[in-house]
Amino acid sequence: MGADFVTLSLTPILIGALAAVACALPGNFLVLRRQALIGDAISHVVLPGIVVAFLITGAVATLPMILGAACAALVAVALIEAVRRLGRIEPGAAMGVVFTAMFAGGVLLLEQSDTSSVHLDVEHALYGNLESLIWLDASGWGSLTDPVALAGLPPELGRIALTLVAVALFTGIFWRPLALSTFDEGFARSLGIRTGALGLALVVVSALAAVAAFDAVGSIIVIAMFICPPAAARLMTDRLGAQVGWSVVFAILSAILGYVLAGYGPGWFGLGASVSAAGMIATVSGVILALAAVFGPRRRGAIVAT
């Protein structure tokens, strides 16, 4: 736990934890609103977005790709809504039609374009490259106060931290209207809250978190962190504030435990290489959810006749 840790593991763990929290915060509301699969849909349609951005700019640059991904996410939300209304189709099926088609389009574009020379492929989009986000300029814990070394931090760290701040601000500022419109939309509307616009804003913020997290950690973590920590937190408490708190704890725990298990776990079994950190973080969050589903104090919820 010395200099090696700071160079190789500190920044990936930080980025993973920040991304996990950024996704888990809006995830709480999505799970309560039964829109949990929005995260799934968004993380699929991000692929065509970044491929189109790559085809337009011709380079693997971060900003255009994030913009492309964000545009694709908005297009997908609009398309889902259009298919649902124009075709009078239930939301689940409308979502299934749109995100599979857009993902297929992304894969096709990727295969058709000449991306063999650059680091852009489907596997990368799915697993992310958390392990490669190392802090080469660091020489030890002392580097944390060294401005020269700090300048060499991976840019993903700054971006994901900024995203987390934005997401946390949104959640904090709109806490009351969000909570009201989530639990009783009719009542919220009678108070003059514009529930439609608020719902759309929540989806946009989720898309923002998904895109930024996707840039750093790949889409598996995004889907898992949108759903697993909030779902597990929901089984722990009846109060929204406490639920959000639990979900943040679970998200950070998944990120740290997952990364450590992926990096050092195989060594304990005598295997040489490490395994996918993104996959392991998702797995740990699933284990936490499973534990909550079996032992969580509020797993059954209030007694209602259903």
Partner 1 sequence: MLWEALTLQLGYNATLVTVGAALLGFAAGVTGTFLFLRKRALVSDAISHATLPGVGLAFLAMVALGGDGRNLAGLLIGSALSAWVGLLAVSFLTRRTRLAEDAAIGAVLSVFFGFGIVLLTVIQSLGAGRQAGLEDFLLGSTAGMLRADALLIAGGGALVLAVVLALRRPLTLVTFDPDYAVARGLPVARLDLLMMGLVMAVTVIGLKVVGLILIVALLIIPPVAARFWSDRSDHVVLLSGAIGAVSAWVGAALSATAPNLPTGPMIVLTAFAIFALSLLAAPGRGVLAAALRQNRFRRRVHMRQGLLALAHGQPIYEGLTLRLLQHAGLVRPDGVPTEAGQARAARALRDEARWAELRAGPGNEAAAALHDGVRDIETVLTQDQIAEIDRRIGGPRGVPG
Closest to partner 1 by CB, 48 or 154: 48
By CB under 8 A, residue 224 contacts partner 1: yes
CA distance 23 to 227: 9
CA distance 155 to 105: 29
By CB under 8 A, residue 301 contacts partner 1: yes
By CB under 8 A, residue 267 contacts partner 1: no
Output the six-digit token pair for 73.
């996410």
* Of the residues 220, 251, 252, 255, which one makes contact with partner 1 according to CB under 8 A: 220
CA-closest candidate to residue 52, choices 14, 108, 117 = 108
Q: Least distance (Å) from partner 1 to the CB of residue 154?
A: 21
Closest to partner 1 by CB, 18 or 217: 217
Q: For partner 1, what does the binding mask look like between residues 129 and 148, x meaning CB under 8 A?
A: --------------------
Closest to partner 1 by CB, 92 or 196: 92
Exposure string over 59-73, b if 16+ CB within 10 A, otherwise e: eeeeebbbbbbbbbb
CA distance 29 to 253: 20
The dihedral through the CA atoms of 222, 40, 47, 281 has a sign that is positive
By CB under 8 A, residue 276 contacts partner 1: yes
CA-closest candidate to residue 212, choices 162, 247, 169, 249 = 162
Q: What are the residues binding partner 1 (CB under 8 A)?
A: 31, 34-37, 39-40, 44, 83, 86-90, 92-97, 100-101, 103-105, 107-108, 111-112, 122-123, 126-127, 220-221, 223-224, 226-228, 230-231, 234-235, 262, 266, 271-276, 278-283, 285-286, 289, 293, 296, 298-301
